[in-house]
Chain A
């Protein structure tokens, strides 16, 4: 009788007959799925193209919305306007995120000394989440300069301020939801180590809260990108306003299409970042839930 040596190295894994059959079946299924998807996309695409281009007014619409010559002429102005959108977005998003965080923190302050701060912060989020952006814009860009104060900032800065104030209210609530989503046992653990309330917020609660709400925060920044153009109501020329001016000169709407395409192109990287952050957050949550 022979005995196997006690520490035989593990032999390489050979898939069983059943596993090989399952793998072959899944491969066949994948090929079928791809073919079906390709066929249905082709059918739907053809139908759409036929329906749109076959419409009685298609030639007129194409001429007034898709004229390549008009698009080429309008592009420089629209791009100049878009550069204003980008600069405004960067500044206003940073400002609104900071303001939102400060307001959310103010609402978590405890103790009688901070009652006015808490009340002010709560009043702010109630007011500016309810107030339409356009009204805030008019108040700040038309009303405030009317005070004729010394050292009045430019209309652009005031318009940006209107955006920061409006979006700050939304972002504050997102931050607050994140802060409140951190389990009380985390606070208890931090306090039991002797950390003060502030240290607990700074080192334990906020890092977890911000990570959790990063996806919705970025989503609001994507939404903000479309609204920064509204400052043009007060004078500064953004991409949409530049397209409008170009349209007024040629009576052709193609510049709007140019601006729209540029906006979408601008949004794609931001949306991609948002999706990546969301995915990472979901993966991390899933792992720690185990």
Chain B
């Protein structure tokens, strides 16, 4: 079943075209990886999907509902979408537990006790039960990012958007976050993730989309797009990445 369908997305910043008629379809329980050079519009696309940025053209359908219609309340749409950012963006004045329960209590109107119990259960699953009462600045980057993922999951989202969630992490901390994403895939979570980790994209994604010039240049199963790309631009991009790794 199709969960997300975008048609002709266009987004410009001060005359600079970032998204130029982009189409993207995501089926339920599927993981789509967005790859592409910095500035190719991966982050912008994710922000547009979460209605954090107004569109300049195009439509976004979530569960068959046109959420790009201005009459739709964006707050209600965002409740169904979880988003995780490159820089974690935990709330520094709230404890780990309060970070996670804020939306369930304030947005979904759950009782504090119920939300806290659910948060502790989620924290336990990601191995951070002992950190519930700590403040974010006492946590490592990898721990903060796992809390950020749990915070998004606490809303029981239909779709998760992950924006280069390992890019700000030290190499030895990347693994713990990727393991968590792997678990989410195993549970059937639908995800769109922007990433620079080609090996991870190959492993976890059902489909890889290569973005360039504001639209999807090439998409398909990871083995084909990453292993045997047909578009010259995709080849060039992958070639550059391999070269960089060799240095």
Chain A interface residues (CB < 8 Å from chain B) = 185-186, 188-196, 199, 203-204, 207-208, 211, 287-288, 290
Contact = CB atoms under 8 A, between A and B. Distances in A.
Contacts of B102: 193, 195, 203-204
B222 to A, nearest CB: 27
A287 B138 CA distance: 9
B91 A204 contact: yes
B108 to A, nearest CB: 8
B42 to A, nearest CB: 16
B107 A195 contact: yes
Interface string B80-120: 01110101011111000000001100110000000000000
B50 interface: yes
A288 B89 CA distance: 12
11 contacts: A185-B89, A186-B89, A186-B91, A188-B89, A189-B91, A193-B78, A194-B103, A195-B75, A195-B106, A207-B93, A288-B136
B52 interface: yes
B85 A194 contact: no
Interface of B: 47, 50, 52, 75-76, 78-79, 81-83, 85, 87, 89-93, 102-103, 106-107, 136-137, 151-152, 155
A194 B93 contact: no
A24 B163 CA distance: 54
Contacts of B93: 207-208, 211
A191 B78 CA distance: 8
Q: When A and B form their complex, which 9 residue pairs have the shortest distance between CB atoms, in order from nearest? A: A194-B79, A189-B89, A193-B103, A192-B83, A288-B137, A194-B107, A194-B78, A207-B93, A185-B89
Given A186-B91, A188-B89, A196 B52 contact: no
B137 A188 contact: no
A189 B105 CA distance: 16
A110 to B, nearest CB: 13
B81 A192 contact: yes
A192 B83 CA distance: 6
Contacts of B89: 185-186, 188-189
B171 to A, nearest CB: 19
A191 B52 contact: yes
A288 B92 contact: yes
B155 A193 contact: yes
B49 to A, nearest CB: 11
A194 B110 CA distance: 14
Given A193-B102, A194-B78, A287 B107 contact: no
B79, B92, B136: most-surrounded residue (chain A CB, <10 A): B92
Nearest to B77: A194
B154 to A, nearest CB: 9
